[in-house]
Amino acid sequence: MITFENVTKRYPGGTVAVDSLNLEVPAGKIMVLVGPSGCGKTTSLRMINRLVEPTSGRILLDGKDVQTVNPPELRRGIGYVIQQTGLFPHRTIEDNIATVPLLSGWGRAKARARSRELMDLVGLDQAFARRYPYQLSGGQQQRVGVARALAADPPVLLMDEPFSAVDPIVRAALQDELIRLQGELHKTVVLVTHDVEEAIKVGDLVAVFRPGGHLAQVDAPERLLGAPTDDYVRQFVGFDRGIRRLSFFGTTGIALGLEAVASQDQTVAEAVRAAKNTGEQWVLLVDSERKPRGWLSLAMLESLPADTLLASASVEGYGHTFTVGADSLRAALDATVLSRSGRAIGVDDDGRVVGVTSYERLRAAIQEADVAASGGWADATERPGQAAP
Amino acid sequence: MSPWTWIGQNIGLLWSLVKQNAYLGLMPVLYGTIISVPLGVACARWRWLYGPALSVANALYALPSLALFLILLDYTGLTNNTVIIPLTLFSLSILLPNVVDGLRSVPEPVRQAATAMGFTPLRRLVQVELPIATPIVIAGLRVATVASISLVSVAQLIGIGGLGYLLINGFQLSLYVEVYTGIVLIVALALTADVLLVLARRLLTPWQRRSPRGAAA
């Protein structure tokens, strides 16, 4: 556990980077510090391993004041990852990873064996072991950076904008990787970012800083989206926070309909009857394995001879489906919005149709999830279902 | 008389002059390195020191070498030191900026990461900063070595000049084969030393990005 007790950092000249910070990072959790530039988030991070010394206040690591430990010794027990990787250009990948073990006096053979273990852990091909950093891509370098930070198995990991310098696809992959690793390792992680999406994705807890080194709110990501404490936080987390919050709600409980479904060996007449009986404007066409083929509009069906087989009718694309249970309500909503029929197709793990959504069904599911998640928000106007414009 | 006959007759003399020239040319670079590395480290660490140190080094570089040889003659007499000391000062003036530039070429994130990994300042210097400074230091060594090897011949004016002997003696005797042999050997010696330094750099810094042609990893 990391505890900030009234920590202030004032630079010569009077700039206050961090102002009376009180913050507790629970053991085994990812705490994300997020805020605009100059809000003191990086300074706060660097005070943990004494790269920056506080002007006043204390930082406790498992109850021990970091000021009482000599810096090199303290730092060898704290992993550190930075945006520009800071890999040693003159050392091979395996020796880069083995940095802290070598500093701590492990034998070279043992340290290198540990490097290989870590390369596996972070998903780096062992063929890279003898290469130099310049021979790797940005994403690979960042994996080396993470492996290096984990080499001596420190209980605490500090990450300063670790994924900001890579392209969005690699960034998403590295974020997923971090979440996976954390599931195995349970480190106490403090991660600094200016990207609120990243904070919400990887954080167990998110601390929002405001300019001047003040804390605006510390909460679980879902609470941050659902109940921002003030206008600053509300603005900072973004206008579509209501929608984004739906990522935290599953689709297991969503009611899905199967009113207008037809298979390819049925005729147009049967499909039209199904649509009219249910009042639907669209019929979902499925194949013999119940995998979706596309949407048939009622108007189009009525223009065809009644005995035409549906296999030969032209279908509207169905966009993306969502997997019931695995995907979030946000995915279901997104699929619904993108579908011309106003219905999204929920499928099982094998891609077979389970049922379709409607806006009505989504609204009910969102409300239910909301009640279940919060036990009611303090302010009824803050209900996420209604907050999105 | 063919040039080869003269060379054949004097091969023993030529070899001993090459050895003397190499010794008188390389020792100053060695001493210059030994002095410039700690001095450069100090200058990189205490920035205020670099300006004055560089001014002194440049002033030394501007001194005519011959004048220094003559002045030192009174103190160190006709010994190798009379040649080695001025050339050491010249090497120093070339090497000091390179050591400082080399240390400054260490990227800030690398320095910061090293500190955050738990390197002590001394270990960081030896294991991270100096190795990364190596290519720039070696670039300086190449200039210093070539300059030093050719400057040795100037010291022939006080009688200890390695291959410079061939130049002066050849002029006095109007024996041009001797003059040209001297010039060729000086250049060859300097180039050999330079090639060895390039090889040393390749061996010491396999981590450097090669030129675009060889960049395929």
Within a domain: residue B217? Answer: no
Nearest CA in chain A to B216: A135
Segment (H or E) for A156: strand A156-160
Task: List chain B pLDDT tens, one digit each, 217 residues.
Answer: 688 999 999 999 999 999 999 999 999 999 999 999 999 999 999 999 999 998 998 888 888 888 888 899 999 989 999 999 999 999 999 999 999 999 999 999 999 999 999 999 999 999 999 999 999 999 999 999 999 999 999 999 899 999 999 999 999 999 999 999 999 999 999 999 999 999 999 999 999 876 554 443 3
Chain A closest-CA separation from residue B17 CA (Å) = 40
Strand A16-25 with A2-10, pairing: antiparallel
* CATH number of the domain encompassing residue B145: 1.10.3720.10
**Interface check B135 vs A, CB under 8 A:** no
Domain that holds residue B128: 3-206
Domain for residue B24, yes or no?
Answer: yes
Whether residue B106 lies inside any domain: the answer is yes
A86·B206 Cβ contact <8 A: no
Contact A82, A145 (CB under 8 A): yes
Looking at the 3D structure of chain B, how many domains does it have? 1
Residue A72 in contact with partner chain B when CB distance is under 8 A: yes
Distance CA B24, CA B145 (A): 11
Rounded to a whole number of angstroms, the distance from the CA of A38 to the nearest CA of chain B is: 19
Q: To which H or E segment does residue A3 belong?
A: strand A2-10
Q: Domains, chain A, ranges and CATH?
A: 2-248 (3.40.50.300), 261-365 (3.10.580.10)
* DSSP state letter for A389: -
Helices (H), chain B: 3-9, 11-45, 47-62, 65-76, 80-104, 108-117, 121-124, 130-151, 164-173, 176-204
Q: Which residues lie closer than 8 Å to A107 by C-beta, 6 or more apart?
A: none
Query: Would you call A103 and B118 a contact, using CB atoms and an 8 Å cutoff?
Result: yes
The helix or strand, by DSSP H or E, that contains position A219, with its residue range, turns out to be: strand A214-219
Average of per-residue pLDDT across A345-357: 92
Contact B112/A at CB under 8 A: yes
In this complex, is the C-beta atom of A88 within 8 Å of any C-beta atom belonging to chain B? yes
CA angle A226-A230-A234, nearest 5°?
A: 55
Residues A306-312 have a mean pLDDT of: 87
| H or E element, residue A356 | strand A353-356
Residues A43, A218: Cα–Cα separation, whole Å? 17
What is the Cα–Cα distance from B154 to B161, expressed in whole angstroms? Answer: 6
Residues A238 and A230: their CA atoms lie apart, in Å, by: 13
Is residue A63 within 8 A of residue A237, CB to CB? The reply is no
From chain B, the residues in CB contact with A103 under 8 A are: 117-119, 123
What b/e sequence results for A143-165 when a residue is b if at least 16 CB atoms lie within 10 Å of its CB, and e otherwise? bbbbbbbbbbebbbbbbbbbbbb
pLDDT, greater one: B1 or A19? A19
Which ipTM did the prediction report? Answer: 0.86
Determine the residue type at B209.
Answer: R
Handedness of CA A176, A38, A237, A240 (dihedral sign): negative
Residue A216, CB-side half-sphere exposure with 13 Å CA sphere: 25
Residues 66-105 of B with CB under 8 A from A: none
What backbone torsions phi and psi does residue A99 show, to the nearest 5 degrees? -50, -60
Residue B107 within any structural domain of the chain: yes
